[in-house]
Amino acid sequence: MSFDRQRVLVVGGAGFLGSHLVDRLIRDGHWVICIDNYFTGHKRNLSHLHNHPRLETIRHDITEPILLEIDSIFNLACPASPIHYQYNPIKTIKTSVVGALNVLGLAKRVHARVFQASTSEVYGDPDVHPQDESYWGRVNPIGIRSCYDEGKRCAEALFMDYHRAHDVDIRIARIFNTYGPRMAFDDGRVVSNFIAQALRGEPLTLYGDGSQTRSFCYVDDLVDGFIELMAYEGRACHEPHNLGNPGEYSMKELALEVQKLVCTDLPVERRPAPPDDPMQRQPDISCAKRNLGWEPRTRLQEGLGRTIEDFRQRLKAGETGTYARRRSLRTESKP
Ligand SMILES: NC(=O)c1ccc[n+]([C@@H]2O[C@H](COP(=O)([O-])OP(=O)(O)OC[C@H]3O[C@@H](n4cnc5c(N)ncnc54)[C@H](O)[C@@H]3O)[C@@H](O)[C@H]2O)c1
């Protein structure tokens, strides 16, 4: 099966990554159905495609089954940042696990190829660097991040079991930190934090001593990887593939880069590192390079520049972050 001109379902398509994936699928000529419960996603992320003849959007929660006639499915539904996934941890696990079951049940029924947006968090706080796909991880099963980490691990197990037991045609991407336009403000992720703080003229918050490292992949590069993995039909196609940018930056370096691009010299405010915060996170993407011929192309400075521009426009338009919006709605609804 090639990946041309299909009816594609994107679950979680109104979110940050989902909306960029929808853009790409529409550009490639597919018919797209997006389902989302708008927990962290927003209609605004797809408003530029309003009334597009090849896009249909449905408000639906993937913890409930749905039946649709489609050829392929991308499952991206799950809050992705700690602030969002810890807001209702039980719902997070339900979305990952029951959502995966519903998506896989649908794929089995309509013989669709199905893609799971998994995460580097399945490796937990790794004692192996960088982590390749054969590493089983070092995850705290009862910590405050486990609703996300273990939910995603269980979803991977379900994907593999549906493949082994029912021959469902699966793809699993283990996504590392990704950034770009349309990230939610105030979602607690380091890139959005630093950019929003720098643009608002607030001190940049640095957790721990700032020496912990992360790798940052620009969203367009990641979406290219999704498409390559979905189209890949080689021997290892059902195995998980790391997708991310191996360039490693300390949080201190990232803060400096953002300050340089925003042209500010704001103070840095230090806070204690949150529990279970990994010291290092770097993808080994040799598998994706070998099997998909994929690797990221966008330099950090270039991607940050585009993200800063997007944040600047949205701040100017008066937009607030999803979490901030939810918090203010809750406050308003109190008597
Ligand atoms: N952005 C990253 O750096 C990153 C890294 C690793 C993995 N991922 C994974 O990629 C996927 C997308 O991440 P994102 O950054 O776009 O996050 P996001 O929060 O912007 O997108 C998730 C989308 O799923 C929707 N959603 C949540 N629960 C749902 C439910 N029960 N039913 C239907 N829709 C639901 C949300 O409203 C949102 O639109 C997630 O599964 C995440 O775990 C992202």
Query: What is the pLDDT, as a whole number, of residue 112?
Result: 98
Ligand 1: centre distance to CA 18 (Å): 7
Ligand 1: centre distance to CA 227 (Å): 17
38-42, 128-132, 219-223, 301-305: range with lowest mean pLDDT: 128-132
Query: What is the pLDDT, as a whole number, of residue 332?
Result: 41
Average pLDDT of the segment spanning 154-178: 98
Q: State yes or no: pLDDT of 135 exceeds 90.
A: yes
Q: Is 20 within 8 Å of 53 (Cβ atoms)?
A: no
pLDDT tens, residue by residue, 245-287 = 999 999 999 999 999 999 888 888 999 987 767 677 789 999 9
Q: How many CB atoms lie within 10 A of CB 161?
A: 13
Q: Which of the listed residues 10, 16, 75, 281 should we mutate to test ligand 1's pocket, taking the one with most ligand atoms within 8 A of CB?
A: 16
Q: At what angle do helices 251-262 and 300-316 cross, to 10 degrees?
A: 60
CA distance 18 to 117: 10
Query: What is the pLDDT, as a whole number, of residue 327?
Result: 55
Residue nearest to atom 42 of ligand 1 (CA): 80
pLDDT above 70 coverage of the chain, percent: 94
CA distance 277 to 284: 20
Catalytic residues: 148
Atom of ligand 1 nearest to the CA of 40: 37
Average pLDDT of the segment spanning 318-333: 58
Residue nearest to atom 1 of ligand 1 (CA): 178
Q: State yes or no: pLDDT of 333 exceeds 50.
A: no
Q: State yes or no: pLDDT of 168 exceeds 50.
A: yes
Residue nearest to atom 32 of ligand 1 (CA): 61
Ligand 1: centre distance to CA 23 (Å): 16
Residue nearest to atom 35 of ligand 1 (CA): 77
Ligand 1: centre distance to CA 131 (Å): 22
Residue nearest to atom 9 of ligand 1 (CA): 117
Q: Is 255 within 8 Å of 210 (Cβ atoms)?
A: yes
Ligand 1: centre distance to CA 123 (Å): 18
Q: Which residues line ligand 1 (CB under 6 A)?
A: 12, 14-18, 36-41, 61-63, 76-80, 84, 95, 99, 117, 119, 175, 177-178
Predicted model pTM: 0.94
Atom of ligand 1 nearest to the CA of 63: 31
Ligand 1: centre distance to CA 307 (Å): 18
Query: What is the pLDDT, as a whole number, of residue 54?
Result: 98
Closest CA to 159 of 73, 225, 242: 73
Dihedral sign, Cα of residue 151, residue 153, residue 159, residue 160:
negative
pLDDT above 90 coverage of the chain, percent: 81
Q: Which of the listed residues 10, 40, 64, 307 should we mutate to test ligand 1's pocket, taking the one with most ligand atoms within 8 A of CB?
A: 40
CA distance 32 to 56: 6
Q: Is 225 within 8 Å of 1 (Cβ atoms)?
A: no
- Three-state SS string over the chain comes to CCCCCCEEEEECCCCHHHHHHHHHHHHCCCEEEEEECCCCCCHHHHHHHCCCCCEEEEECCCCCCCCCCCCEEEECCCCCCHHHHCCCHHHHHHHHHHHHHHHHHHHHHHCCEEEEEEEHHHHECCCCCCECCCCCCECCCCCCCHHHHHHHHHHHHHHHHHHHHHCCCEEEEEECCEECCCCCCCCCCHHHHHHHHHHHCCCEEEECCCCCEEECEEHHHHHHHHHHHHHCCCCCCCCEEEECCCCEEEHHHHHHHHHHHHCCCCCEEEECCCCCCCCCCCECCHHHHHHHCCCCCCCHHHHHHHHHHHHHHHHHCCCCCHHHHHHHHHHHHCC
Q: State yes or no: pLDDT of 323 exceeds 80.
A: no
Q: Which of the listed residues 9, 76, 106, 147 should we mutate to test ligand 1's pocket, taking the one with most ligand atoms within 8 A of CB?
A: 76
Q: How many CB atoms lie within 10 A of CB 41?
A: 25
Q: State yes or no: pLDDT of 318 exceeds 70.
A: yes
Query: What is the pLDDT, as a whole number, of residue 334?
Result: 37
Question: What is the residue-averaged pLDDT of the chain?
Answer: 92
Q: State yes or no: pLDDT of 234 exceeds 70.
A: yes
